[in-house]
Amino acid sequence: MIIEAILTSIAWRKGWGPVALLPLAFAILLGLIGGAEHSLAIGLFGDVVCYVALISMIVKARKKADNAAAPAVATPTPEPSAFGHRDAA
């Protein structure tokens, strides 16, 4: 459980935010179901899925959504003058 919490906080800082809590919630839910049915296999399956999901989140950082409404405009840099310094335009 401690390893899952550490992996969740690392995934959160990698840009996943609240989405990083979903694998942990899934593992806890399956652990509760497995505990109610006295089945260790269900809880272990949830832990393995949680580890795989969190490690994949850490390895592949979340992509930022491009803002299509406001495209980035590059500002031109001033050209050097004949004297080797940049003109103050």
Domain-embedded: residue 77? no
Q: What is the pLDDT of residue 70?
A: 52
Segment 24-75, tens digit of pLDDT: 999 888 888 887 878 888 888 888 999 999 999 999 977 776 555 555 566 6
Q: Which two tokens stand for residue 64?
A: 């930022």
CB 51 within 8 A of CB 7: yes
Residue that has been written with the tokens 């949830």 in this structure: 46
Domain-embedded: residue 81? no
Count how many domains the chain has.
1
Domain-embedded: residue 80? no
Q: What is the pLDDT of residue 71?
A: 53
Domain-embedded: residue 72? no
Task: Name the residue range of residue 27's domain.
Answer: 2-59
Q: What is the pLDDT of residue 63?
A: 75
Whether the pTM exceeds 0.85: the reply is: no
